[in-house]
Amino acid sequence: MSVSRRDFLERTAALAAAGFVPRLPDDLLGAAAPATAAPMAWHGRGRPLVVSSSNGIKGVRVAYDRMLAGEDPLDAAIAGVNLVELDPTDQSVGLGGLPNEEGVVQLDASCMHGPTRRAGSVAAIEGIATPSLVAKAVMDYTDHVMLVGAGATKFAKAMGFKEQNLLTEQSRQDWMRWKSRLNANDAWLDHDDDIKIKFTTGTINMNAVNGAGDIGSVTTTSGMAWKVPGRIGDSPVIGAGQYCDNLVGAAGSTGRGEANIKTCASFLIVEFMRQGLGPQEACLKTLERVVAMTETRLMGPNGRPKFDLEFYALTKDGRFGGATLYSGGKFAVCDEKGARLEEAAYLLKR
């Protein structure tokens, strides 16, 4: 069945304007490819479960409840991260995210849908508060996986997403504080000397599996604070910021994206789980690979990385785990026991 551009825009404009982009019907996705046998054993029905970075503690409950009501796991996970994207007080994603060095908020996001093996991504998009939904629109309505920059923004507007100023007054003030301290001899006066400058790599990753064992994953971010304009971290990179395989499980990350990209870490975690490792063990083993791939300039005098990285993972049968490079991390979980924060395993003690 073919869909004309006019039909496509007319069919989706109203829903997209409301911030919701539906999946294409199965007959528009084409026949499913035959499944291959998975080394990881699967014994039928599992249990609904949502895992995310700690800033998703409210979102995991939303995602879990939506799955119990019959919603697709990817749609449920995206609804969970939308809470954070639309929260102006959270400066790590979406509305209110910390800007690049020029004071412009540029957002990245990616998602994967286990049952259809489809993925979508946007990078350096501006003026759209929910890049996770735009990434899903790329997945649902184009033959592409990633759109970037002005092209991603143009696509979002064509889909009916509302363009708005994402730089809140709080984030603008933080940007001014950072800018005033760049050079002691420049013309900018110091801005509130007693305020510590924020340097964040904040992100939210969320992975969900329903009772039938179907999986969805999404990661969204405003990226590294004060970044070079156009800088892309791991969040919109399929296999780095998140990865999903409906035969095995899903994984995602937060932290230093550059370190994560070089190891294709989320993909690697899922592959370790395919080989039989549990989610926590797979995350820890991947962190070992990250350390092995770390450049000398990023190592401290003690031979340890000068950055942190966090991983979150779940399996098709409802097991979960999380691990951080350094001790002290937590991650969010929601299952039949409710939404809560769990202690993350760690590779190195602080």
Counting Cβ atoms within 10 Å, is residue 151 exposed (0-12), middle (13-18) or buried (19+)? middle
Locate all alpha helices (DSSP H) within the chain, ordered by sequence: 5-17, 26-29, 57-68, 73-85, 131-141, 149-158, 169-180, 257-263, 265-274, 279-292
CB 280 within 8 A of CB 321: yes
Note the pLDDT of residue 176: 87
From 209, 253, 236, select the one nearest 120 (Cα to Cα): 236
From 197, 309, 188, select the one nearest 255 (Cα to Cα): 309
Angle, in degrees to the nearest 10, between helices 131-141 and 73-85: 150
Ordered structural domains, the chain, with CATH: 44-343 (3.60.20.30)
CB 52 within 8 A of CB 78: no
CB 175 within 8 A of CB 215: no
Instruction: For the chain, report the end-to-end CA distance as a whole number of angstroms.
Output: 57
Long-range contacts of range 185-193, CB-CB < 8 Å, 24 or more positions apart? none
In this structure, what token pair is assigned to residue 154? 């143009």
CB 260 within 8 A of CB 325: no
Q: What is the pLDDT along the chain (350 residues), one digit of tens a residue?
A: 344 555 545 545 544 443 434 444 443 333 333 343 345 555 556 799 999 999 999 999 999 999 999 999 999 999 999 999 999 999 989 999 999 999 999 999 999 999 999 999 999 999 999 999 999 999 999 999 999 999 999 999 999 999 999 999 999 998 988 888 776 665 555 555 555 656 665 799 999 999 999 999 999 999 999 999 999 999 999 999 999 999 999 999 999 999 999 999 999 999 999 999 999 999 999 999 999 999 999 999 999 999 999 999 999 999 999 999 999 999 999 999 999 999 999 999 98
Alpha carbon 285 to its chain centroid, in Å, reads 21
Tell me how far apart the alpha carbons of residues 257 and 65 are, in angstroms, rounded to a whole number: 30
Angle, in degrees to the nearest 10, between helices 149-158 and 131-141: 80
- Give the residue numbers annotated as catalytic, written as ranges: 203
**Four-point Cα dihedral 153, 159, 165, 168, nearest 10:** -100
